[in-house]
Copies of this chain bind each other. A is one copy, B any other.
């Protein structure tokens, strides 16, 4: 499993992913699931992946043109005229990779499925964010649902639903994501630290740094410990249930 969240704020986009992959409980590894391309001043695109690792790595390699010699690469993902075309390209690439693995040769017990969140901005377009399905089709984040989750989405969803606000600052959004990831990590062994996150400021047209949150990250520890206490206080602040006299 995996947990990735993309938020579309008024100030820009934020991406956060965990890094744990597993083929069974006894075979876990750390792999990057957050990938970013940019041409400063022209385009910035970030992709987060969940699902079969062979599928998602293959898609990223194809998008990155790793089939070519390094000097010949000019990733086609950066040549698209709009984020809609980027979503189509990623969706088609994903569908082709899955089809190629599913059609011939030895069958696997598990599916080759994967899903992706992509976001970014190209030229004078708006920052946009899409959720891409294994079938290659996709939906776009809109005002009613300005965030997407993929992977193990359920544990961390209630706090997103309750506390997300598109007007929130990047700092608050990172805090919110850390709470959501902490709830998920506490409940599901297949989601684990370290986390990667990236902030994209609208109209900057350059990729922000990809930050890594390690197990020893003091801010994450503070949030993780503090959230338990804060939840208990919140719980205590609610009125007590009273049994009927009947």
Residues of chain A whose beta carbon lies under 8 Å from any beta carbon of chain B: 154-159, 161-163, 170-172, 174-176, 178-179, 183, 186-187, 219, 222-223, 226-228, 230-235, 237-243
Contact = CB atoms under 8 A, between A and B. Distances in A.
Contact of A161 (B172, B174, B187): B187
Nearest to A230: B234
21 contacts: A155-B158, A157-B187, A158-B158, A158-B183, A162-B228, A162-B232, A172-B240, A172-B241, A174-B241, A178-B241, A179-B235, A179-B238, A219-B241, A222-B238, A226-B239, A230-B234, A230-B235, A230-B238, A231-B234, A233-B234, A233-B237
Contact of A154 (B187, B237, B239, B240): B187
Name the residue in A179, A228, A230 with the highest tally of chain B Cβ atoms < 10 Å from its Cβ: A230
A223 B242 CA distance: 13
B159 A235 contact: yes
A227 B238 contact: yes
- Copies in the assembly, this chain: 2
Contact of A158 (B162, B187, B240): B187
Contact of A231 (B159, B228, B240, B243): B159
Given A159-B231, A179-B235, A219-B242, 17 more contacts: A154-B155, A154-B187, A156-B158, A158-B186, A158-B187, A159-B235, A162-B231, A163-B232, A163-B235, A172-B240, A174-B241, A179-B238, A226-B238, A226-B239, A230-B234, A233-B234, A233-B237
B243 A171 contact: yes
A200 to B, nearest CB: 14
A171 to B, nearest CB: 5
A179 to B, nearest CB: 7
B187 A242 contact: no
Nearest to A244: B211
Nearest to A222: B239
Contacts of A183: 158
B159 A157 contact: no
A227 B161 CA distance: 12
